[in-house]
Amino acid sequence: MTNRKSTKRALLGSVMAMVLCLAMLIGATFAWFTDTASTGVNKIQAGNLDIEIQDETGKAIDTLAWATKDGTAFAEDGKTPLWEPGCTYTLPELRVVNKGNLALKYKVAITGINGSAKLNEVIDWTINDADINLTEMQLKAGEEGAAFTIKGHMQESAGNDYMNESIDGISITVVATQDTVESDSFNNTYDANATYPVVADVPGAHVIFNIVFFITIVSLVIQGTTVSWVARLLGLSTPLEKTGNDFGVELPEEIDSNLHDMTITQEMLEQADTLKDMNLPKGTLVMIVKRGDEYLIPNGTLKLHAGDKLLLISENSKE
């Protein structure tokens, strides 16, 4: 039975080898009567995203200072800006520049207030005199964005509750991701769903990342090691049905019989301790007996031991 299966596998391997050899022969013959020409490939370089915030002179800005108060030039000179109901402070004119070699889309956001959070409740922030609504804008590689101005206006209705409060400055963050301009092998929409790095340059962003990473790892460890135990506790786990046999023997599909194994127990030996005395079902034969690492040819007088495994073959039931 096993030899027959091995013979089939050997024949199948031989046929496949012949097919491969024939394909190689045809390919070599074809190559003999053809010619090819090739040239060097141009340099391929990965693209990069690089954005920068610049002032009106084209200088990169790291620190912002108030430029005007109510339209008049404001020189801080180490002084704290004094907010009054109805007053408006303006930051210098800014622009976003794409310093990378990929087209991008971006949003401008105010991400930090240096000073009183309470005072900020009555400050209305605008970009180019419009509400800050994180409008998405696009820039090609090397392109400069339109200039924009950020203003803070203290509401006229602000009362004495906001006295002695101060806002010293604000933080501006530009979040960007690749735009659908450059194409890959198919089209230019492969990055259509690129998301914005919403925590980029946000104070404490690395702490947020570490917290999320830690929670994820702990969740995986706890769930991975306890899900089976909880399933058994709730009665939701059922053992898998055993398939095949412990002897690793299989029958061809054309043989309408069933192989299975049986382990001899002490209770079974009390009823019968030899094969001829065992009450096996009609149509069932013992093919081989496994005792430890030893395989025994069965006969009617073979004495059975507890732990012996019998490989049985039986006819499939016919309805």
pLDDT tens track for 175-187: 788 787 766 656 6
Bridge-based pairing of strands 294-296 and 284-291 is: antiparallel
Cβ–Cβ < 8 Å for 116, 77:
no
- Find, among 176, 125, 174, the residue nearest to 151 by Cα: 125
Residue 80 pLDDT greater than 80, yes or no = no
Q: Residue 141: pLDDT band by 50, 70, 90 thresholds?
A: confident
Q: Which pLDDT does position 301 carry in this prediction? A: 85
Distance CA 9, CA 22 (A): 20
User: The dihedral of CA 208, 209, 215, 219: what is its sign?
Assistant: positive
Could you give phi then psi for residue 95, rounded to 5 degrees? -150, 155
Task: Give percent of the chain above pLDDT 70.
Answer: 68
Q: Which pLDDT does position 12 carry in this prediction? A: 65
Lowest-confidence pick of 18-32, 169-183, 229-243, 301-315: 18-32
Distance CA 108, CA 246 (A): 67
Q: Which pLDDT does position 18 carry in this prediction? A: 65
Q: Which residue has the higher pLDDT, 16 or 178?
A: 178
Q: Which residue has the higher pLDDT, 182 or 273?
A: 273
Distance CA 89, CA 64 (A): 12
Residue 279 pLDDT greater than 50, yes or no = yes
Residue 218 pLDDT greater than 70, yes or no = yes
Q: Which of 167-176, 248-257, 294-303 has the highest mean pLDDT?
A: 294-303
Q: Which residue has the higher pLDDT, 163 or 47?
A: 163
pTM above 0.75, yes or no: no
Cβ–Cβ < 8 Å for 316, 257:
yes
The partner residues of 23 in beta bridges, in order of sequence, read: none
- Find, among 91, 92, 100, the residue nearest to 52 by Cα: 100
Give 262's Cβ-side CA count (13 Å radius).
19
Residue 172 pLDDT greater than 80, yes or no = no
Cβ–Cβ < 8 Å for 178, 200:
no
Q: What is the mean pLDDT of residues 134-160?
A: 85
Task: Give percent of the chain above pLDDT 90.
Answer: 0
The token pair at 212 is 């999320």
